[in-house]
Amino acid sequence: MAIATEQTIHARYDREFGGSKKMFERARKSITGGITHDGRNIKPFPPYIAQADGAYKWDVNGHKLIDYAIGHGSLILGHNDPEITAAMQEQAARGTHFSAGHEGEILWAEKVIELVPSADDVRFTASGTEATLLAMRVARGYTEKSTILKFEGHFHGWQDYALKGEKPPFESTTVPGIPNETLGTVSVIPSNDPAMLEERLVQGDVAAVILEPSGASWSTIQLKDDFLKQVRDITAKHGVLLIFDEVITGFRWAPGGAQQRFGVTPDLTTLAKIIAGGMPGGAVAGRRDVMQMIAFRDDAGWNGARRVQQAGTFNANPVAAAAGYTALSKCADPSVQSYCDDLAKKIRVGLNQVITSLGVPAFAWGESSVFHVALGKPASNLVADDLHTPEGVSVEFLKGSGGDKLGMAFEIGMLIEGVHVFHSGGLLSTRHTDADVETTVAAAETVLAALTAEGAFK
């Protein structure tokens, strides 16, 4: 059932998703660039969604889409989990903001501590970006050092200390809008090179090392098997704090996140997405002595000079707390993660089978409950297994793979076939089924065949 060649993917998208096209044209008049998140940039226009349920959502033209963006990864229990919805409704009826402490935030924090190995204490934020900002400030305050060391391609939100070295060219020393003085306090090195890490830490100015324990962009650029343990050993040896950014991996890689799955405990952990059950929210969790930097303490000086400030109108918002507590209570059952892991593996294996049988230059990979597809490289004789990227593929290529021309054409083709992939990949939920996976692999076969027919791989 290949798409007839005269009906190119873009022409069909333009015709069949006309409602989204209209909305995008309207949005561009009031919303800068028409989109509200850089990650939702799809050319020629993004889909507009009218409603969602379980593993699905429906666009404004009524197409049913299997959703692998699934709340940017936050909805591991799918859209509209009945228990989360009930908890939110019950809380909303009792008030949405108390400008004060409430039991919901304590229950929520207790649940995080129960699940996440590194969490002695928790402090809530309103997003993952705020969580990494706070973790870096706490680390700098605690160590009285200023440099944050990060790895090429790792994404830690959009705050000023997080963006250097996130996109290729990684060695670029400027980021528009961010002062060079600020960028000068961030050091970026490639991952998987313990000797280079140690050489950098010896210089003595580094407060903390931050990383995505999955490797950059939820396992797009993977970490070598023992790298996490080596980073833990080297940071401990040099008195440098280690921050795991578990905004994606938290409660997904395992009930206790990647740190539980890999048995490596950081000093601080940043969390968002799943932690708030589909509502805005995030947190920093970690070692009590380090987290105490935020507390009002007698030893912080009469004017609090030795403490780190944190505020935020929507921190631990009661509705987010109710959603988050309910989500985490459900995610404590490891069958949540193993179910999603199994489905993601079936997708990765299925995609690689389709790629091999069609002979297209592409490969699928990923770990835990995520999958990625890269199109255009390597030559079709280089076949990956479903867990690892093939040897010899550059980190620059991997990082750019979802957002390039081919990646976007694939994304649009998949939308036509009823599947919403996220940057040529996706994240699974407990509401996805084997049947969804089969539909997805068949859709990819159709789209890759159509792209081949259009000469996209030439």
Q: Which residues bind ligand PMP (CB under 6 A)?
A: 72, 127-129, 132, 155-157, 212, 245, 247-248, 272, 282
Question: Least distance in Å: CB of 247 to ligand PMP?
Answer: 4
Joined together, the tokens standing for residue 342 give: 């199994």
Question: Measured from the CB atom, is 128 or 378 closer to ligand PMP?
Answer: 128
Neighbours of 48 (CB within 10 A): 17
- Measure the N-to-C terminal CA separation of the chain; round to a whole number of Å: 22
Question: Measured from the CB atom, is 17 or 155 closer to ligand PMP?
Answer: 155
Question: Measured from the CB atom, is 27 or 162 closer to ligand PMP?
Answer: 162
| CB contact at 8 A, 306 and 299 | yes
What is the Cβ-side half-sphere exposure of residue 447, based on CA atoms within 13 angstroms? Answer: 31
Question: Least distance in Å: CB of 39 to ligand PMP?
Answer: 7
Rounded to whole angstroms, how far apart are CA atoms 169 and 403? Answer: 15
Joined together, the tokens standing for residue 439 give: 């539909």
Question: Measured from the CB atom, is 355 or 370 closer to ligand PMP?
Answer: 370
Question: Least distance in Å: CB of 200 to ligand PMP?
Answer: 21
The residue sitting closest to ligand PMP, measured at its beta carbon, is: 128
Question: Measured from the CB atom, is 42 or 248 closer to ligand PMP?
Answer: 248
Question: Least distance in Å: CB of 248 to ligand PMP?
Answer: 4
Angle between helix 318-331 and helix 335-358 axes, rounded to 10 deg: 80
Question: Least distance in Å: CB of 67 to ligand PMP?
Answer: 16
Question: Least distance in Å: CB of 246 to ligand PMP?
Answer: 8
Neighbours of 66 (CB within 10 A): 24
Question: Least distance in Å: CB of 268 to ligand PMP?
Answer: 13
Neighbours of 288 (CB within 10 A): 10
Question: Least distance in Å: CB of 72 to ligand PMP?
Answer: 6
Neighbours of 194 (CB within 10 A): 16
What is the Cβ-side half-sphere exposure of residue 380, based on CA atoms within 13 angstroms? Answer: 12
Nearest partner of 343 among 255, 238, 276, 426, judged by Cα: 426
| CB contact at 8 A, 352 and 320 | no
Question: Measured from the CB atom, is 8 or 132 closer to ligand PMP?
Answer: 132
Sheet holding 370-375, edge to edge: 362-365, 370-375, 425-427
Question: Measured from the CB atom, is 131 or 241 closer to ligand PMP?
Answer: 131
Question: Measured from the CB atom, is 215 or 413 closer to ligand PMP?
Answer: 215
Question: Least distance in Å: CB of 321 to ligand PMP?
Answer: 16
Cα–Cα distance list, 436 to 49, 56, 118, 334 (Å): 19, 10, 35, 22
Question: Measured from the CB atom, is 243 or 364 closer to ligand PMP?
Answer: 243
Question: Least distance in Å: CB of 154 to ligand PMP?
Answer: 7
Question: Least distance in Å: CB of 119 to ligand PMP?
Answer: 17
